[in-house]
Amino acid sequence: MKLQTLFLKFIIASVSILNINFCFAQDKKNLAYPDEKHFKNLRQLTTGGDNAEAYFGFDNEHITFQRQNPKEGLNCDQIFYGTIPKSDKDSFKYKLVSTGNGRTTCAYLMPDHKHFLYASTHKAGKECPPTPDREKIKKYVWPIYSSYDIYVADFKGKITKQLTNTPGYDAEATISPKGDKIVFTSMRNGDIDIYTMNIDGTNVKQITHDIGYDGGACFSPDGKKIVWRASRPSTPDELKEYKDLLAQGLVMPTHMELYVANADGSDAHQVTHLGKANWAPAFTPDGKKLVFASDYEYERGFPFNLYLVNLDGTGLERISHDSSFDAFPMFSPDGKKFIFSSNRNNGGGHDTNVFICDWAD
């Protein structure tokens, strides 16, 4: 869900401009704020750079995540694989598993525990693809790189299969808990929609059809439903702006809501009606709620915090309270652990790191 990480850089830049220290209310020893009642034994896994989109494997013991840190020579996101520490005495050890070329995103561990999938632009060149000139465009936009395709690789970085090979953006892939299906985002039809395919890349089906950006989908714990984020331009001016930007390989992500449907795309319905940007959704372990990131409470478009909501849009609960950026939430398959990325505990700098905790109901 590459597009999500660009929000991270936008928030960092905005906070830096205001030169505000947002750490005054945080318990440095525990890393959690006093009212973050669900975060038990919160621990910081990474230090330095931008670390995001950390996702659990099927075994509850390993994660993939993407990391960018120019100080280490990582000028754009690459994929890393690590083992979750079993105790506070154990360090978090991780290694690079993508090619090191181009820009990569959206890694997810395969059910065989030997491979992972991810999206990459490396076939278009070793360099990082160019970022949009927002000063020229005069809007906050995300790039939709047409060079993204989805690959499967082993943990030595060897690509063993290319799953997509169509013109246009293919990325944002996640795997069903059953291990049989992949849901992903593609622009192969000229709009940005959600598709499913078998775990081997066969039997591709388009499952969203409305005009607007549809992406960042993931399955429910039983594999029967999906949740995703979507924009729905409706007025003539909104439609024109959306199509004009899309023709340049860009989208404007500042207005998105969450949708839920059956895994085949049927019975789709909007869950949130909050306004602003609601994104990075995932199901709770019982499949009855969603966890997601949102800036809806803030006039300036930041901070982003984490929320829980019922599938019918009721019972909204804020669960994180950093005054800069909390996002990319996910539960471990067994429901015991919770992982997310945050700007907390970065000494007032620009770093975003991965945090993990025991989930407390």
223-270 residue pLDDT tens: 999 999 999 999 999 999 999 999 999 999 889 999 999 999 999 999
Q: Cα dist. 71→16, 51, 306, 351 in Å?
A: 19, 14, 29, 12
345 is a domain residue: yes
Res 12 pLDDT > 50: no
Q: What's 204's DSSP letter?
A: -
Res 188 pLDDT > 80: yes
What is the distance between the alpha carbons of residues 168 and 360, in angstroms, rounded to a whole number? 42
Strand order in the sheet with 337-342: 39-44, 353-359, 337-342, 326-331
Number of Cβ within a 10 Å radius of residue 328: 29
pLDDT of residue 29: 63
Structure tokens at 32: 């959690």
**Of 262, 331, 267, residue with least CA distance to 38:** 331
**Of 112, 134, 52, residue with least CA distance to 342:** 52
Section 19-36 average pLDDT: 60
Predicted model pTM: 0.92
Domain coverage including residue 250:
2-354
What 3-state DSSP class applies to 252?
Answer: coil
359 is a domain residue: no
Res 19 pLDDT > 90: no
Q: What is the CATH number of the domain that holds 280?
A: 2.120.10.30
43 is a domain residue: yes
165 is a domain residue: yes
230 is a domain residue: yes
130 is a domain residue: yes
pLDDT of residue 300: 80
Section 21-42 average pLDDT: 73
Q: How many domains does the chain have?
A: 1
pLDDT of residue 24: 32
361 is a domain residue: no
Res 5 pLDDT > 80: no
Give the pLDDT band (50/70/90) at residue 352: very high
360 is a domain residue: no
Conformational region of residue 39, where left means phi above 0, alpha means psi within -120 to 50, and beta covers everything else? beta
Res 22 pLDDT > 80: no
Section 65-81 average pLDDT: 96
pLDDT: which is higher, 138 or 242? 242
